[in-house]
Amino acid sequence: MKTPLKKVYHRAMFVDPDGNVSALCFRTPRAIDLKKALWTNRDEAVTCPSCKAAINDAKEADAIAPKEAAALDALEKGRK
């Protein structure tokens, strides 16, 4: 008896009116093939390497954004 392959968990990004879910790592939105992979909306449950990388990039950008905003505010105040 074959052991079943583990399915990859993608991070859900878009849902179409028919209920099909597209993954964060897909370049163009399309339905995830549920025979090969599954989806989740919890970042800690994602197993897809591409989705994990996109999540980490977004978290890093969110962490940097307030610092950049503060720097831009300081520059604007200096110009006045």
All structural domains of the chain with their residue ranges: 8-79
- Per-residue pLDDT band at 74 (split at 50, 70, 90): confident
**pLDDT surpassing 80 at residue 44:** yes
The verdict on pTM exceeding 0.85 is no
Contact 73, 66 (CB under 8 A): no
Determine the pLDDT at residue 16: 93
- Give pLDDT, residue 47: 95
User: Using H for helix, E for strand and C for coil, what is the string for the chain?
Assistant: CCCCCCCEEEEEEEECCCCCEEECCCCCCCCCCCCCEEEECCHHHCCCHHHHHHHHHHHHHHHHHHHHHHHHHHHHHHHC
CB 7 within 8 A of CB 37: yes
Q: Over range 35-43, report the average pLDDT.
A: 94
